[in-house]
Structure 1
């Protein structure tokens, strides 16, 4: 237990003069006292993919340490994971000014799902996997900091959303110019095929999927409810684009009941080898032909 009241503000250096722990980084296991001091700074943390906050489950979700590459269960992360076995308490602080923190209270790692992974950018802007700890208050706390935009659930979430809310998973290409061009071509392609289906009397939506235990939503491009066809669009007919579309379709299909048919929507007819690749994977290929759409 610390001799600090929840909500009280002090300089971080003064706290660590008393209780120890590293003066750098967010996780500070102490050799001076039986504590692990945790410092949260959402304002700066967002820049390197740290999205700490309160969940609707009553836990504070705290990002592990490691600013580049996938985080691993070592060093400070290991100290949080094993704090009970090592006889240490977790104490959480929120940054309120330069060098000044406010004490939120004492916490313990949740016994049900103590941690999980989520995707987040690292210090270089590359997507990586970070560790999110679920820590529960052990007594009186002051709720400071932010609320999570979405708290991970134990079950999958699958919803129909409007196609106009166009969000996509970015295609990995060799340059930003290619990426922008592919995205620019994809949106009108999706709109044109939606209009084509609706003119035939079909009901068309898209699926928003949040897998159990995750916070990031997946969005399909089109879902033909009438014929139960899941469609993934790409703004390029390159092999990389087609392979990514097939992978996304297989990922999305797992969450949709009944199991839908699959189709890849492209801006032009691809080479026959890629049509064969799609067909061999159980997906048809769709492309515009000037007056409508062809199916291969």
Structure 2
């Protein structure tokens, strides 16, 4: 616990550093003058940097490490949290609001894990971030948010309506606008879903939460009638098809699917069909006359 402060006290951030040391910039501030590591959480603006700090279902505070560009590494300021106990420093938390901060009290590190987040001001780029699980040593005097999703030890698979608005990227960057590729994929999925339902199939989506992950995976379609796992792409470029193959293999680790299929707006060129054939993944596309063509390449 910081001498001269009690949990709930509000003061200017500059005064915190005048008293206890540490950099006035950034979210993590190890001090060279006192045996403390200060950390600051700001729920109001943290999401701009892909930082979603909050309480997990484990009763611990999950705090995203520092680093706004590229994958975060367990070095420098992040390392100061990871090694605070070994180096004899206490870990002291604050909730930031503009130039003022509110003292949360002392915490201790339990462990850390990795998850995905977007880069600062660039929702099109995903990166890996460090999340520290912190245990408060006192009653935290202010309400802090809960995590949107709490990591589990075992995988969880849910069948959800196709109308479910979430996508994997939207879960990481919920306040961004959909990309044009996503819009075109959505139209393609809607048309094919309508076709399947007219054929008497029951069509849903799968929400898959891998063990230890804080972000769900969403299949584009799950045909419950045929046990077919379907991933849609808005174009037939090599990059898009390779991405779809990877997604289907990832989802398929958790789902007993009889078929895996890529849904695209037109027939891929021959070498790409050969590539899909080598993976035993089928392809469904719109023929020139507007009818659906199914090529089982397995």
Q: TM-score, normalised by structure 2?
A: 0.88
Of residues 253, 257, 260, the one that matches 2:258 is 260
The within-5 A match list for 1:23-172 is: 23-96=24-97, 98-110=98-110, 114-125=111-122, 126-168=125-167
The answer to whether the 8 Å contact 2:36/2:92 transfers is yes
Residue number in structure 1 paired with 2:269: 271
**Residues of 1 paired with 2:292 and 2:144: CA distance?**
51
Residue number in structure 2 paired with 1:12: 13
Question: How far did residue 159 of structure 1 move?
Answer: 0.8
The within-5 A match list for 1:140-219 is: 140-168=139-167, 180=180, 182-219=181-218
Q: Helix, strand or coil: the match of 1:42? A: coil
**Residues of 2 paired with 1:216 and 1:269: CA distance?**
32
**Residues of 2 paired with 1:291 and 1:49: CA distance?**
41
Question: How far did residue 90 of structure 1 move?
Answer: 0.7
**Residues of 1 paired with 2:183 and 2:147: CA distance?**
31
Q: TM-score, normalised by structure 1?
A: 0.89
Q: Helix, strand or coil: the match of 1:129? A: strand
**Residues of 1 paired with 2:51 and 2:252: CA distance?**
30
Q: Helix, strand or coil: the match of 2:18? A: helix
Cα distance change, pair 82–260 in 1 and its aligned pair in 2 (3 A):
farther
**Residues of 1 paired with 2:191 and 2:140: CA distance?**
54
**Residues of 2 paired with 1:140 and 1:169: CA distance?**
34
Deviates more, 1:261-270 or 1:184-193: 184-193
Runs of 4+ in structure 1 deviating by more than 4 angstroms, as ranges, are 166-170
Flag structure 1 segments of 5+ consecutive residues without an equivalent.
Answer: 171-178
**Residues of 1 paired with 2:198 and 2:26: CA distance?**
58
Flag structure 2 segments of 5+ consecutive residues without an equivalent.
Answer: 170-178
Residue number in structure 2 paired with 1:22: 23
The answer to whether the 8 Å contact 1:185/1:267 transfers is no
The answer to whether the 8 Å contact 2:39/2:93 transfers is yes
Cα distance change, pair 127–56 in 1 and its aligned pair in 2 (3 A):
same
**Residues of 2 paired with 1:135 and 1:145: CA distance?**
13
Pairs aligned (count): 282
